[in-house]
Chains A and B, each alone.
Chain A
Amino acid sequence: MTTTLAPALAPVRPTTIGVANLIRSEWTKLRSLRSTYWTAVAAVIAAIGITTIGAIEYVQHFSPDQLEGFDAANFSVQGLYLSQIALGALGVMTITGEYATGMIRTTLTAVPQRRVLIAIKGLVYLIAIFVLSEVMSFASFGVGQAILHRKHAGVSLSDPNVLRVVFGVGLYLTGVGLLAFGLGALVRRTAGALAAFFGVLFLPSALIDLLPSSWHQVALKFAPVNAGTQIANTHRVDHMLGPWQGLGIFTLYGVVIVLGALFVVGRRDA
C-alpha cells in the first residue's frame, strides 16, 4: 500500500468535448444509484396498481347507467397521479442528493460551468422520466382497458382524443418532473424542496377557498395541477383551460422555477 504512484501515471489526453460528455456523466450518476430504481419501481406499482384496483372495483359494481359521462381513457390512467409523487421525489433528490452528500463540490470542481451542468442534469433526468412515464401511461391504459372491456365500458386508442389523453399524461408527468427538479435546484435541501414540491402541487386547490369568491374561477383554472391535468380528460371540462393550453401553463410554472434556479446557481457558494 505504500508503493509510489509516479511510474504508473500514464498520460491522459482529452478525447471529446462538451455536452455529450456531460450527458454521459449525468446518465451514469442517475443509473448508478439504487434510489433511482426504487422510485421508478414505486412509480410503476402506483400507476398499474391503482388503475387495476380502480378498474376491477368499477367492473364489479357496474351498471349500464354509469356509462353516462364516464371517461374510460382518463379512468385507466388515474394511477399515474400517485406515480407523480415518486417521480417528483426522484427529481428533487437528483439535485439535492448532490448537495446533501457533498458530491456537488466534486462535480463543480470537474465542471465549473454551473448553469450548463444544471441544465444537462435536468435534461437527462427529464428524458429518463419522459420515457418511463409514457411506458407507464400506455401500460396502465392497456391494463385498465382490458378490465373495462369485460363490461364493454372501454375505449381504444383510435377513438377521438384517447391517444392525446394517454400520451398527454406522460407529458404531464414530465412537467411534474421539471417542477420538482427546478425546486430541488432552487432550494438545494431535500426536506425543503420536497415540502415546496408538495406545496406547489397540492396547496393551491386547498387554499382557493380563502380567496374572494370572484377569484375562484381564475384560481381554479390556473392552479398548477388543474391546468396540467386537463390533458387527461377526453372531453374538455367547462370553465377549465383546454388540454394543450393547460399543459402549456403547467410547463411554464416549471420553466420559470428552473430559470430562477439557473439564475441563482452561479451566484451562490457551493
Chain B
Amino acid sequence: MIEVQSLSKHYGATKAVDDLTFSVRPGTVTGFLGPNGSGKSTTMRMILGLDRPTSGSTSVNGRAYGQIRRPLFEVGALLDAKAMHGGRSGYNHLLCVAQSNGIARRRVTEVLELVGLGSVGRKRARTFSLGMGQRLGIAAALLGDPEVLLFDEPVNGLDPEGILWIRTLLRNLAREGRTVFVSSHLMSEMALTADHLVVIGRGRLIADTTTADLISSSSQGYVLVRTPDADGLARVLRAAGATVGVTDDAVRVTGASCAAVGDLAAEHHVVLHELSPHAASLEEAFMELTRDSVDFGADFGTAMADAAAGVGH
C-alpha cells in the first residue's frame, strides 16, 4: 500500500507536483499516467525519499520511506535504466545493493537468472543494451522479494518482446498480492497492463479510477449503425435523447447502448444492416479528460505520437 497525501513539490515558481492525493492498493497493477514532464517521476522520487516534498507526505505500508530499516525487503524500485555505475558488472551491481540490506549472494545469482541475465552477469553494465539495463534494474528491485514495487517507465525503449515480458511480470507480481505502481506516458501500454489508473497532468490529479471505467465513461465511445433509412432512425434516436450524426447510410450514435439502439429500431420497424459498438481507446478517453483542464503543448503531442507508435490494442 502506497499513500500520497496532499503532496506538492515546487521548483521556484514551477509546481512540478501540485497537491496530489491518492493511494495504490495491493493485488492490482496501478498505472501512473501522464504526459512527459507531468510530475510522475518527481512523485515517485518523493515516495522513495530521494526528493523532499515542499509540502504533504507519502508513506509505504504506513511508514515514511526513511523510517523503513531495510527497504529492499519492503519496497523494490526501478527508477530508470541508468541508476547504476556502468563500470561495474551486473553481478557486482546487484551484489553491492544486496549487501547493504544483508541479502545473501545466492539471491543475486537467483535474480540474475530470473530476469534472463544469468549468462551476461559478469559483463560490465556499460555494455548492456537498454533492455538489459531495464532487466538489471528490475533484478535489483526484486532482490528483497518486496511487497511493494515501483517502476518508472519500465517499457521505455524496449522491443516488443521486452514489453511483453515486463507486462507479464507486472501482472504476475500483482496476482501474487503485491502492490505494483507503474508509470508510463504510453497510454496504449497502460490499457493492456493496468487495472487501475492514476492520471496526472501538470502535477495535478486528473483521474483516479479503473481502466475500464475511464474508457467507458468517455463520450468518445459510440454505436455505429448502417441502415437504408438513416434519417428515419436518426429521428427516432434523437427523440429518445441520443446524440446522432448521419453520413450517407451510416448513423453514429452516442449516449445510447447497442441494445437500446437495436430495441428502438425494432420497435419502429427500421431495417438495420450493421449495429456495432466502438469503445473509445484509452488515448481518446485521456485526451477528452485532459482537454479542458490543462494545455500540454508540444510535450503532449510527443506523448501521443509515442502512444500511437506503441503496442496496438
- Would you call B173 and A5 a contact (CB within 8 A)? yes
- Would you call A2 and B84 a contact (CB within 8 A)? no
Q: Considering the complex, which residues of chain A in the window 157-188 have a beta carbon less than 8 Å from any beta carbon of chain B? A: none
- Would you call A110 and B84 a contact (CB within 8 A)? no
Which residues of chain A have C-beta atoms less than 8 A from B161's C-beta? 1-2
Task: Given A9-B145, A12-B145, A21-B101, decide whether A106 and B84 contact each other with a Cβ distance below 8 A.
Answer: yes
- Would you call B169 and A4 a contact (CB within 8 A)? yes
- The number of chain B residues with a CB under 8 A from chain A is 59
Q: Which of A30-38, A41-49, A189-197 contacts B (4 or more CB under 8 A)?
A: A30-38
Binary interface profile of B, 161-194, with partner A (CB < 8 Å = 1, else 0)? Answer: 1101100110011011000000000000000000
CB of A108 closer than 8 Å to a CB of B: yes
| A125–B104 CA distance with the chains assembled, in angstroms | 23
Total contacts A-B at CB 8 Å: 137
Binary interface profile of A, 1-38, with partner B (CB < 8 Å = 1, else 0)? Answer: 11011101111101111000110111011001111000
- The number of chain A residues with a CB under 8 A from chain B is 42
Q: In the complex, which of the residues A2, A16, A267 contacts B164, with contact meaning CB atoms closer than 8 Å?
A: A2
CB of B68 closer than 8 Å to a CB of A: yes
Binary interface profile of B, 95-130, with partner A (CB < 8 Å = 1, else 0)? Answer: 111111111100100100111100000000000000
- Would you call A32 and B88 a contact (CB within 8 A)? yes
- Would you call B50 and A109 a contact (CB within 8 A)? yes
Task: Given A12-B145, A103-B84, decide whether A17 and B52 contact each other with a Cβ distance below 8 A.
Answer: no
| A24–B113 CA distance with the chains assembled, in angstroms | 23
| A68–B137 CA distance with the chains assembled, in angstroms | 64
Residue of A nearest to B126 (CB): A101
- Would you call B85 and A28 a contact (CB within 8 A)? no
- Would you call A32 and B89 a contact (CB within 8 A)? yes
| A16–B69 CA distance with the chains assembled, in angstroms | 12
- Would you call A32 and B99 a contact (CB within 8 A)? no
- Would you call B176 and A102 a contact (CB within 8 A)? no
- Would you call A1 and B165 a contact (CB within 8 A)? yes
CB of A112 closer than 8 Å to a CB of B: yes
Q: Which of B71-79, B197-205, B244-252 contacts A (4 or more CB under 8 A)?
A: B71-79
CB of A105 closer than 8 Å to a CB of B: yes
Which residues of chain B have C-beta atoms less than 8 A from A10's C-beta? 107, 110, 145
Which residues of chain B have C-beta atoms less than 8 A from A11's C-beta? 145
- Would you call B172 and A12 a contact (CB within 8 A)? no
Shortest CB-to-CB span from B66 to chain A, Å, is 5
Binary interface profile of A, 80-114, with partner B (CB < 8 Å = 1, else 0)? Answer: 00000000000000000110011101111111110
| A33–B258 CA distance with the chains assembled, in angstroms | 64
Task: Given A6-B176, A12-B143, decide whether A22 and B85 contact each other with a Cβ distance below 8 A.
Answer: no
Which residues of chain B have C-beta atoms less than 8 A from A112's C-beta? 49, 65-66, 68, 71
- Would you call B83 and A102 a contact (CB within 8 A)? yes
| A12–B145 CA distance with the chains assembled, in angstroms | 6
Q: In the complex, which of the residues A24, A101, A113 contacts B85, with contact meaning CB atoms closer than 8 Å?
A: A101
| A100–B171 CA distance with the chains assembled, in angstroms | 33
Which residues of chain A have C-beta atoms less than 8 A from B96's C-beta? 25-26, 28-29, 32
Shortest CB-to-CB span from B21 to chain A, Å, is 21
CB of B268 closer than 8 Å to a CB of A: no
| A10–B145 CA distance with the chains assembled, in angstroms | 8
Shortest CB-to-CB span from A73 to chain B, Å, is 38
| A17–B70 CA distance with the chains assembled, in angstroms | 8
- Would you call B168 and A4 a contact (CB within 8 A)? yes
- Would you call B107 and A12 a contact (CB within 8 A)? yes
CB of B232 closer than 8 Å to a CB of A: no
Residue from A26, A32, A270 with most neighbouring chain B CB atoms (10 Å): A32
Residue of B nearest to A98 (CB): B85
Shortest CB-to-CB span from B136 to chain A, Å, is 10
| A269–B42 CA distance with the chains assembled, in angstroms | 10
Chain A residues at the B interface, C-beta cutoff of 8 Å: 1-2, 4-6, 8-12, 14-17, 21-22, 24-26, 28-29, 32-35, 97-98, 101-103, 105-113, 267, 269-270
23 residue pairs from A and B, CB less than 8 Å apart: A2-B164, A5-B114, A5-B172, A9-B142, A25-B100, A28-B96, A32-B95, A35-B87, A97-B85, A101-B82, A101-B84, A101-B86, A102-B82, A102-B83, A102-B84, A105-B45, A105-B50, A106-B83, A106-B137, A110-B72, A110-B101, A269-B50, A270-B50
In the A-B complex, the 7 residue pairs with the smallest Cβ-Cβ separation, listed nearest first, are: A32-B92, A25-B100, A25-B99, A28-B96, A269-B51, A270-B50, A24-B99
Instruction: Give me 18 other A-B pairs in contact (C-beta within 8 A), A9-B142, A25-B98 excluded.
Output: A2-B161, A5-B114, A5-B172, A14-B73, A14-B101, A17-B102, A21-B99, A21-B100, A28-B95, A32-B88, A32-B95, A97-B85, A101-B85, A103-B84, A106-B83, A107-B100, A112-B71, A269-B52
